[in-house]
């Protein structure tokens, strides 16, 4: 059997030196850009000079609070310029920032505080209630609460020190921590869709590698760009989009604290005219059906990126037809920190996730660990320099995922003869119907190509011990659910896929359950069955 190991020779990128602190690295890169805008948030701007000064003051403030190198500080912060200050300030001091999802419950924060043994938690004022409840429920009283309230006009009395005031009062740290490239730099928690969230541990060098291997050569980000990410900074995807990549080239990033609705996105696209936009498939689909979609002349987008779920071909083609900008669909993971498989500008093949990013290796294997030939579905394994070290304090899951130099992604793919990869779903989502495997994603891609369908999710339903497929469908605003339309959708799929793959049942719904990253939670749909 022909091996399907896809190896892309790394670009001639020099590794970071052994003594390497990523925050200090960024400050040195941008020494000559002190007056240039680094961030535009909802209430103001911050230059590169201000970012460095405030991050260095943050480093001093955290150390003055008694937080030491290698100890953790939990960041539960909205996307304002204070979040990059806190993240880079912690890195500069050798303290480990743990960037947390802002949409979680008090119970989730209780788990993270206990699991990470955080010595401090910095929380945006609107999120204070859940974090305060979490702190009250843990035994360790050594975790200090700090509240971020960036803009004086919105200040309300606080029961804890204000982050911005602490930063203002501190003297800038003169020297950053003498970190090594492979030292632990920060954590990101996984989504926890299959159990408790996993604390994914990354190094200083990992941030460097994502910028050098994807941000610069694949995305093509340059100093003159203005970037805007709908994905928040607490995601691995968003952290690269709005911090690692723009700051590595001296570009300007737009931050938005509110939820990324289509209208909120449109307002920033028109007002600030970003040239690089990062979204997720659901958002792109919702933008296209909105009556408020801006005209091409009203925006300045030159390139877009997409991750989180497979981008439907129809969505990509319609977006490019309207705006003239390609969407570079790719896949990354919290474990690999950012995108390792991607389309390229000028070579986009909608309906695929493109080819391996140079510097990464991709392998497709069957259930016995053997390589699979082109056209067959296999489990996706990745190798590359941005891989995480481990899951903190979780030996079992670490061993199951980090296999020597390789990482088991949990995704299934098939490779086309031209070298492009096509997403086939998560490993635990695959269905066996009439003795044959069915990829829910493949069926969903066909359904959303129908003019009436906005979104679709396919799950397996037990019928007397036999698995049948059921599709949950969200219709576009001008269409009404009916038995006739359901039959039309079934026929639409039958015409385009093998007969056993069409959904036996169609259920119309107003929306689909999703994670904070926009991924469809099929397990919740299975619970409805």
Q: Domain extents for the chain?
A: 22-415, 429-528
The pLDDT of residue 268 is above 80: yes
Strand, coil or helix: what is 57?
Answer: helix
Element (DSSP H or E) covering residue 369: none
Question: Looking at the domain 429-528, which fold is it?
Answer: GMP Synthetase; Chain A, domain 3 (3.30.300)
Q: pLDDT per residue over 474-511, tens digit each?
A: 999 999 999 999 999 999 999 988 777 899 999 999 99
pLDDT value, residue 17: 96
pLDDT value, residue 346: 96
CB 472 within 8 A of CB 513: no
396/400 Cα distance (integer angstroms): 6
CB 407 within 8 A of CB 381: yes
pLDDT value, residue 529: 61
> What's the whole-model pTM score?
0.86
Bridge partners (DSSP) of residue 201 are: 187, 390
Q: pLDDT per residue over 324-383, tens digit each?
A: 999 999 999 999 999 999 999 999 999 999 999 999 999 999 989 999 999 999 999 999
CB 458 within 8 A of CB 325: no
pLDDT value, residue 527: 79
Do the first three CATH levels of 22-415 and 429-528 match, i.e. the same topology?
Answer: no
One DSSP character per residue, 72-121 reads EEEEE--SSTHHHHHHHHHHHHT-EEEE--TT--HHHHHHHHHHHT-SEE
The pLDDT of residue 193 is above 50: no
Mean pLDDT over 209-218 rounds to 98
Tell me if the domain spanning 22-415 has CATH number 3.90.420.10. no
Q: Are strands 199-203 and 390-391 parallel, antiparallel or unpaired?
A: antiparallel
Task: Please provide the average confidence, as pLDDT, over all residues in the chain.
Answer: 92
The pLDDT of residue 295 is above 80: yes
């Amino acid at each position: 059997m022909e091996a399907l190991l896809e190896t892309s020779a790394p670009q001639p990128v020099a590794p970071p030196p052994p003594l390497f602190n990523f925050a200090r690295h960024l400050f040195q890169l941008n020494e000559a850009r002190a007056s240039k805008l680094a961030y535009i948030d909802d209430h103001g701007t911050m230059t590169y000079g201000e970012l460095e000064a405030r991050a260095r003051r943050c480093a001093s403030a955290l150390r003055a609070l008694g937080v030491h190198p290698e100890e953790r500080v939990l960041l539960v912060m909205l996307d304002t310029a204070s979040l990059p200050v806190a993240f880079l300030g912690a890195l500069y001091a050798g303290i480990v920032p743990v960037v947390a999802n802002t949409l979680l419950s008090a119970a989730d924060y209780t788990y993270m505080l206990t699991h990470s043994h955080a010595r401090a938690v910095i929380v945006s004022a609107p999120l204070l209630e859940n974090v305060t409840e979490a702190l009250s429920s843990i035994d360790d009283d050594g975790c200090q609460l700090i509240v971020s309230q960036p803009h004086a006009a919105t200040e309300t009395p606080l029961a804890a020190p204000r982050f911005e005031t602490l930063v203002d009062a501190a003297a800038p740290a003169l020297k950053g921590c003498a970190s090594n490239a492979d030292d632990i730099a920060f954590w990101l928690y996984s989504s926890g869709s299959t159990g408790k969230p996993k604390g994914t541990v990354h190094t200083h060098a990992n941030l460097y590698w994502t910028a050098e291997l994807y941000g610069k050569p694949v995305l093509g980000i340059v100093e003159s760009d203005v970037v805007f990410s709908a994905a928040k900074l607490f995601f691995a995807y968003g952290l690269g989009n709005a911090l690692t990549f723009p700051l590595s080239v001296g570009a300007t990033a737009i931050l938005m604290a509110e939820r990324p609705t289509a209208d909120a996105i449109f307002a920033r696209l028109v007002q600030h005219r970003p040239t690089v936009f990062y979204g997720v498939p659901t958002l792109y689909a919702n933008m296209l059906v909105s009556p408020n979609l801006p005209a091409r002349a009203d925006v300045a987008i030159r390139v877009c990126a997409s991750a989180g779920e497979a981008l439907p071909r129809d969505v990509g083609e319609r977006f490019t037809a309207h705006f003239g900008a390609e969407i570079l669909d790719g896949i990354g993971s919290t474990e690999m920190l950012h995108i390792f498989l991607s389309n390229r500008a000028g070579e986009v093949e909608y309906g695929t996730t493109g080819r391996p990013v140079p510097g990464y290796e991709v392998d497709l294997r069957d259930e016995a660990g053997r390589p699979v030939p082109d056209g067959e579905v296999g489990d996706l394994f990745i190798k590359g320099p941005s891989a995480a070290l481990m899951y903190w304090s979780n030996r079992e899951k670490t061993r199951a995922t980090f296999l020597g130099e390789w990482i088991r992604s949990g995704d299934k793919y098939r490779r086309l003869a031209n070298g492009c990869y096509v997403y086939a779903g998560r490993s635990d989502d695959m269905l066996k119907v009439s003795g044959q495997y069915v990829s829910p994603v493949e069926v969903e891609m066909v359904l959303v190509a129908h003019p009436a369908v906005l979104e679709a999710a396919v799950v397996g339903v037990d019928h007397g011990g036999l698995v049948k497929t059921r599709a949950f469908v969200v219709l576009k605003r001008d269409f009404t659910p009916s038995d006739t339309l359901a039959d039309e959708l079934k026929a639409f799929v039958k015409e385009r896929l093998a007969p056993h793959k069409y959904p036996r049942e169609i259920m119309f719904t107003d929306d689909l359950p999703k994670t904070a990253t926009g991924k469809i939670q099929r397990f919740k749909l299975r619970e409805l069955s």
